[in-house]
Amino acid sequence: MIRLPNGRSLATRFSDRLRGAPPTALVIFPIFSVQLGAALAKSFFDSLGPGGMVFLRIAFAALVLFLLVRPKLGGYDRAGYLVAGLFGLTLAGMNLSLYLALDRIPLGVAVTLEFVGPLGVAVAGSRRLLDLLWVVLAAAGIILLAPLGVLGGMDLDPVGVAFALLAGCLWACYILLSVRTGSAFPGGTGLVIALCVGTLVLFPFGIVGAGYALLDPKFLLAGFGVAVLSSAIPYSLELEALRKLPARVFGVLMSLEPAVAALAGLVVLGERLEMRAVAAIIFVTIAAAGASLFGRRDEG
């Protein structure tokens, strides 16, 4: 572990700084960080492919969080390792599906479609009429993005749309498995184990997608940057934010992701969206924010 001259570890100093940060900043900054990382990743697809980039991202994220968390990997029960393994498989599939979607459709559209996953978790099992409104709004957004001629749908690659929706379904599983993994392991240990599993799963995709380019220092640096922006920073800040903010407020802030993704796609990649795509993003954002705000309030 890296230690500073006063004997305190770099991880300890980092944790102290997090505890003093405004809680809303601990959510908003990761949102921009994740989408900037996604835009940066997409810019290297021509050289590494989605498979190569997602492998580097997860591998470096596992390394960085291992050095920060310094987890004890042994001594837990078999069921816990099984849950962490499933969590890692889901994490790998979710990120690979999203990157395959990004290779075919704009970033803002992909993240909007992916958001059906957490939204589905938020309203699952509810019998309230108000939650039906959020489902209708989200469905309207998806219909606006439909590439198959629904209401004169947009000219989007249907395979890309399918991958984005698959990423959303896996995101829903990710949410459920992350809770169980967090209960089975202390701190970030379960996440580190899951990232290691995800690295092993994604290794063949990385080799097929990038080949010897994985050994190029320039691309290794790019993968490290994407890992820090999309995984290491968000995981650390969001974990601290959840200790300070009500889950309802956290969910409302996270609903900004589709809009921020569209902004990152425009600024970094030059992706301009049609008005119906902008309307779809607004519908899904309102649906996600409403489900978080009113759902959590009623439960509390």
Q: Could you report the per-residue pLDDT of 171-195, keeping only the tens digit for each?
A: 888 888 887 887 888 877 888 899 9
Of 126 and 192, the structure prediction assigns the larger pLDDT to 192
Q: CA-CA distances (angstroms) from residue 51 to 57, 100, 151, 227? A: 10, 8, 34, 14
The answer, yes or no, to whether residue 6 has pLDDT greater than 50, is: no
Between 241 and 41, name the one with better pLDDT. Answer: 41
pLDDT of 17: 54
pLDDT in tens, 58-112: 999 999 888 887 888 788 888 889 999 999 999 999 999 999 999 999 998 999 8
Per-residue model confidence as pLDDT tens digits over 146-175: 655 444 455 788 899 999 999 999 988 888
- The whole-number pLDDT of residue 3 equals 39
pLDDT number for residue 202: 96
pLDDT attached to residue 194:
92
pTM, 2 dp:
0.83
The CA–CA distances, whole Å, from 180 to 23, 87, 111, 158, 191 equal 24, 9, 25, 34, 11
Q: What's the mean pLDDT when you consider all of the chain? A: 81
The answer to whether 253 and 84 have CB atoms below 8 angstroms apart is: no
pLDDT of residue 163: 95
Tokens 């050289």 -> residue: 47
Q: Would you state the pLDDT for residue 80?
A: 87
| Residue whose structure tokens are 């470096």 | 60
Strand partners, 9: 3
152/280: higher pLDDT: 280
Res. 8: pLDDT tops 60:
no
pLDDT at 105: 92
Question: How far apart are alpha carbons 226 and 111 in whole angstroms?
Answer: 17
**Per-residue pLDDT at 88:** 93
Question: Which pLDDT does position 46 carry in this prediction?
Answer: 92
Band of the pLDDT at 14, cuts 50, 70, 90? Answer: very low
Tokens of 242: 């959840």
**What's the pLDDT score for residue 32?**
92
Strand partners, 3: 9
List the domain boundaries for the chain: 23-299
Tens digits of residue pLDDT in 36-69:
999 999 999 999 999 999 999 999 999 988 888 7
Q: What torsion, rounded to 10 degrees, do the Cα atoms 26, 57, 46, 200 define? A: -150
Residue 16 in this model has a pLDDT that exceeds 60:
no
User: Which of the four pLDDT bands, split at 50, 70 and 90, describes residue 295?
Assistant: low
pLDDT of residue 51: 95
Q: What pLDDT is stored for residue 231 in this prediction?
A: 83
Confidence check: pLDDT of 226 > 70: yes
